[in-house]
Amino acid sequence: MVINSSLLKKLSAEQKFMISVIIVNGGNYLYNLLLGRILGPEEFADAALLITFLLVLSFVAMTFQLSTAKFSVIFEKEIFKSFINITYKYSSITGIIFGVLMIVFSKQLQAIFNTQSSTMFILFGIGVPIYFIMSVNRGVFQGSKKFDSLAITYQGEMISRLTITLILIYTITFQSSVLVASGIAISFLFGLIPFRSRDIEVTKKHKLPKAESKYITKFFILTAFYELTQIIINNSDILMVKHYFETYEAGLYASLALIGRVVYFVAWMFVMLLLPKVVQKQKDGESHAPILFKYVLYITLLSAAIVLGCFLFPEFVINIMFGPEYISVAPLLWKYAIATSLFAISNIFAYYFLSLDQYIPVILSALLGISQVVLIIFFHNTLSEVVIMQIIAMAILLTFQLFFFISYQKLSKKELN
C-alpha cells in the first residue's frame, strides 16, 4: 500500500485522469459485455440501441462541455461567472426540449427501431436534462484542469450505471430494455458528483459583453455542427442496421461495433486533454502542433495493435467478450476495427482544429459523415457491405484532414516569416 501511495503522489493530475479514463472505459465495456452475455443477441439489440442513444446524447451535450472548457480557460472573474450561469441556463433548456421530444415521440421511436417497448424511451427522456447539466459541470473541471474532480464524475456515472442495472435485471422480472433505461437515467444523477455550485447565481440576471457573446456563439455553432457530424459518423451504422436487418443480426452487429470502438473511446481520453492544452498554448502564443503529434502517435500505435489482434484472433476475442452465440460475426471484427481506427485518428485532427476555431475540417467531416449514411443506404445487402462502406468513408475523411493540416502548417509558417 505504501508503494502504491507513493506512486500515486508522483503521478500528475493528467496521468491520474488518463488512468481513470481507462478504468471508466473498462467499466463501460464490462457493462456492455455483461448485458450482451446476460440478455442474448435479440434482447441485447434493444439494450444496444439505448447505449447508442446514450452516445448520441453525449455528443450533443459535448457541445456544451467543450464550449465551457474552452472559455473556462479564456474568461476570468465576472465574465467567467456570467458565462457559466448563462451556459447552465441554456443547457437546461436544451435538455428539457430533447427529453420532452423523446417522451412525446416514444411510440414512433418504438416503431422506427423495432423495439419491444416504448417505455424505455420515456425513462431515458426523463434523464436527458440532468445529462446536459452534468456536461457543463464537467466542462468547468476540464477547462480549469481539475482532472481529479472530472475523473470522479465519470467514475460515479459508470459505477452506478453498472451496479444499478445489474441489480435491477437480477431482482426484477420485467422487460430488460426498461430496466436498462432505468439504470442509465439514474446514473446521470451520480455523474453530477462533485457539482461545482459556487459560481451559480440563480436570482441574478447575467449578461456578457457583445464581443465575448459573439465569440461564444460562433464557437458554439461550430462545435454543435461538428458534434452533429460525430453523431452521424459514430452512430448511424448501428441505427441503420437496426432498421434494415432482423433483430438477431442487429444484435450481432451491436457486439461487433462495441468491440471495434475501443480505439475511439481511448481516443476520446486524449481529446479531453488536448483541447484545454491547445487553447492555452494559443492564448500564450506558443507552438501547439507537438501536442497533436504526440496524441496522434499514441492513437496510431494503439489502433495498429488492436487491428492486428482482431485480425489474428477474431473468434477468440468474440468468444471471450460475448460468447459463442456471437461467433458468426468474427470475420468482420478486424475490418470494423480499421474503420474506427481511421475515424479515431481523424477525430484527433478535427478537435485540434476546433480548438483553433478552424471551419474547413468541420465542413469536411459533415460532408463525409453524410456520405457514410448515403453509402450504407445504397449498400446494405450484408453486414460486411455496411462495414466496408464505413472504411471507404473514413479513409477519405482522414486523407482530407491530413491534407488540411499540411496546408495549415505551411500557411502558418508563411505568416510567421
Write out the chain's pLDDT in tens, 417 residues.
Answer: 344 555 556 666 667 777 787 788 778 878 887 887 888 777 777 888 888 788 778 878 888 888 888 888 887 778 888 888 888 888 999 999 999 999 999 898 888 887 888 888 999 999 999 999 999 999 888 888 788 888 899 899 999 999 999 999 888 888 888 898 999 999 999 998 888 766 676 667 778 788 888 888 888 887 787 777 777 777 778 778 877 888 788 878 877 777 766 776 677 667 767 767 777 777 777 777 788 888 888 888 888 888 898 889 888 888 877 778 778 888 888 898 898 888 888 888 887 887 777 777 777 777 777 788 888 888 888 888 989 998 998 898 888 888 888 887 777 666 655
Amino acid identity at 125? G
Task: Pick left, alpha or beta for residue 145 (phi over 0 → left; psi -120 to 50 → alpha; otherwise beta).
Answer: left
- How many other CB atoms are there within 10 angstroms of residue 255's CB atom? 25
pTM: 0.74
- How many other CB atoms are there within 10 angstroms of residue 373's CB atom? 17
